[in-house]
Amino acid sequence: MTLLPGDGIGPEVAAATVRAVDATGARIHWHEVELSGAVIERTRQSVPDEVLRSLDDTKVGLKGPVTTPVAGGFQSVNVALRKKLDLFANVRPVRSFPGIHTRFEDVKIDLIIFRENTEDLYSGLEHEVVTDVVTSLKVITRTASIRIARYAFHYARTHGRRKVTAIHKANIMKLADGLFLRCAREVAQDYPEIEYKELIVDNASMQLVMRPETFDILLLPNLYGDIVSDLAAGLVGGLGLVPGANMGQSHAVFEAVHGSAPDIAGKGVANPTALMQSAVLMLRHLDERASADKLQAAIERVYADGKTVTPDIGGRASTTQFTDAVIAAM
Ligand code: NAI
């Protein structure tokens, strides 16, 4: 197992998660490799060779966030890693949590985001045509669109989900989002038992805030998937909670939705739940089901009890105190 603690709050939540996973009794051998802004600056590689070597060997990674400089500097390490390993599906389950106070306490939210992870406006193809005029290329291909749609529908069929909603802006980007939508429709025909719907992304955002309980599986191109993920996290208590998986043909890298949170890094108050729940997804992927269930149940017990939660959830516990509580709850 490759462990990439990342930077910012990454090392704090990664250390907490490793402790919690080890406490379940899962037989995980961690191979820790540095992946951070500092190592990218030092090696001048978009993803250091050592990271790729380790992931080629283990096929499975648990990753903390990595800071990306804004408006300049090196390319996003996260985007580079997803492209290099062809981690085409970004899967993010967003669920209501027992004991967490949100504006949506009366409804049960249980949706899963399937975000295309390799193209769209994340192609990084930008060009200054003349001074003060810039273009940024949005790349949508049939191959990638069919692949993510199939992944989402197959998941729906094999996990007893009822509905897939494709989210787009094909009224404006008629060619690009039009292609994404045509691919989704085509795949939907092979899954007649799954209800298929389409929503324009602005309307989808409003519906998510008004009626989040009506959503099941969301199928989105890269950029909308990124934005809607944070919106959805906000519905259930914030970024401290929501896990994710980057899935490819041969590799899988599990990471939280959140970033490196520079505003709280080093203070010992980051919420490790999102990475711990990413580790639960990883344990399921590795067929370590008993450990996965044990960790998930322990996390939920700590929230139901409500006494040892971190400041983002309205509590006063530190990362370490929360982790101790999770381990004690096992
Ligand atoms: P962010 O997700 O790091 O933080 C947004 C807000 O949520 C902050 O107020 C932060 O304190 C809070 N937050 C996030 N995770 C939390 C946790 N576990 N516990 C408690 N509070 C938490 O987003 P931001 O500030 O826009 O980005 C910071 C950096 O992270 C940027 O360089 C960005 O590029 C990078 N990033 C990296 C990602 C990755 O490695 N997969 C994903 C998203 C952003």
Region 255-265: mean pLDDT is: 97
If asked whether residues 219 and 243 sit together in one domain, one would say no
Is the model's pLDDT at 153 over the cut of 90?
A: yes
How far does residue 85's CA lie from ligand 1's centre (Å)?
Answer: 23
Is the model's pLDDT at 180 over the cut of 90?
A: yes
If asked whether residues 107 and 217 sit together in one domain, one would say yes
Q: What domain count does the chain have?
A: 2
Query: Amino acid identity, residue 91?
Result: V
Better-scored residue on pLDDT, 186 or 42:
186
If asked whether residues 193 and 145 sit together in one domain, one would say yes
From the list 83, 169, 177, 312, the catalytic residue is 169
Q: Which residues 6+ apart lie within 8 Å of 205 measured at CB?
A: 228, 231
- Residue 73 — pLDDT band, cuts 50, 70, 90? confident
If asked whether residues 1 and 82 sit together in one domain, one would say yes
Q: Which residues 6+ apart lie within 8 Å of 229 measured at CB?
A: 92, 94, 113, 115, 242, 244, 257
Region 136-157: mean pLDDT is: 98
If asked whether residues 107 and 216 sit together in one domain, one would say yes
* Mean pLDDT over the full length of the chain: 96
Residue 226 annotated among the catalytic residues of the structure: yes
**Distance (Å, rounded) from C-alpha 160 to C-alpha 171?**
31
Region 151-172: mean pLDDT is: 98
Least reliable range by pLDDT among 40-49, 107-116, 125-134, 220-229: 40-49
Q: What is the pLDDT of residue 106?
A: 87
Is the model's pLDDT at 44 over the cut of 90?
A: no
Inside any domain, residue 290: yes
Region 272-285: mean pLDDT is: 98
Q: Which atom of ligand 1 is nearest to the CA of 262?
A: 28
Better-scored residue on pLDDT, 38 or 326:
326
How far does residue 151's CA lie from ligand 1's centre (Å)?
Answer: 27
How far does residue 320's CA lie from ligand 1's centre (Å)?
Answer: 19
- Residue 124 — pLDDT band, cuts 50, 70, 90? confident
How far does residue 261's CA lie from ligand 1's centre (Å)?
Answer: 4
If asked whether residues 74 and 152 sit together in one domain, one would say no
Q: What is the pLDDT of residue 120?
A: 96
**Distance (Å, rounded) from C-alpha 59 to C-alpha 257?**
21
Inside any domain, residue 94: no
Q: What is the pLDDT of residue 218?
A: 98
Is the model's pLDDT at 72 over the cut of 90?
A: no
For a pLDDT cut of 90, what percent of the chain falls above it? 88
Residue 263 annotated among the catalytic residues of the structure: no
Q: What digits encode the pLDDT tens for the residues 314-323? A: 999 999 999 9
- This prediction has a pTM of 0.97
Geometric angle at alpha carbon 139, from 137 and 140, rounded to 5°? 155
Domain of residue 152: give its range. 101-236
If asked whether residues 134 and 202 sit together in one domain, one would say yes
- Residue 13 — pLDDT band, cuts 50, 70, 90? very high
- The DSSP string of 124-190 is --EEEEETTEEEE--B--HHHHHHHHHHHHHHHHHTT--EEEEEE-TTTSTTHHHHHHHHHHHHHTT
Q: What is the pLDDT of residue 268?
A: 98
Residue 230 annotated among the catalytic residues of the structure: yes
Inside any domain, residue 169: yes
If asked whether residues 250 and 193 sit together in one domain, one would say no
Query: 20: alpha, beta or left, given left = phi > 0 and alpha = psi -120 to 50?
Result: alpha
Q: What is the pLDDT of residue 284?
A: 97
If asked whether residues 269 and 202 sit together in one domain, one would say no
Inside any domain, residue 145: yes
Inside any domain, residue 95: no
Is the model's pLDDT at 246 over the cut of 90?
A: yes
Inside any domain, residue 248: yes
Pairing between strand 217-220 and 252-255? Answer: unpaired
From the list 83, 120, 122, 177, the catalytic residue is 122
Residue position matching structure tokens 């967003």: 94
Is the model's pLDDT at 74 over the cut of 90?
A: no
Ligand 1 shell residues, CB under 6 Å: 9, 13, 65-68, 78, 239-240, 255, 258-264, 270-271, 274, 312
Q: What is the pLDDT of residue 43?
A: 87
Is the model's pLDDT at 45 over the cut of 90?
A: no
- Residue 11 — pLDDT band, cuts 50, 70, 90? very high
Q: Which residues 6+ apart lie within 8 Å of 285 measured at CB?
A: 60, 245, 252, 254
If asked whether residues 49 and 113 sit together in one domain, one would say no
Q: What is the pLDDT of residue 123?
A: 86
For a pLDDT cut of 70, what percent of the chain falls above it? 100
Last residue of a domain, one of 188, 217, 236: 236
**Best CA proximity match to 300, nearest among 112, 14, 20:** 20
Inside any domain, residue 174: yes
Q: How many CA atoms lie within 13 A of 142 on its CB side?
A: 2
If asked whether residues 213 and 154 sit together in one domain, one would say yes
Last residue of a domain, one of 197, 214, 236: 236
Inside any domain, residue 96: no
Better-scored residue on pLDDT, 103 or 53:
53
Last residue of a domain, one of 236, 270, 298: 236
What's 241's DSSP letter?
Answer: T
Domain with 280 in it: what CATH number? 3.40.718.10
Region 214-232: mean pLDDT is: 98
Q: What is the pLDDT of residue 69?
A: 83
If asked whether residues 124 and 218 sit together in one domain, one would say yes
Is the model's pLDDT at 70 over the cut of 90?
A: no
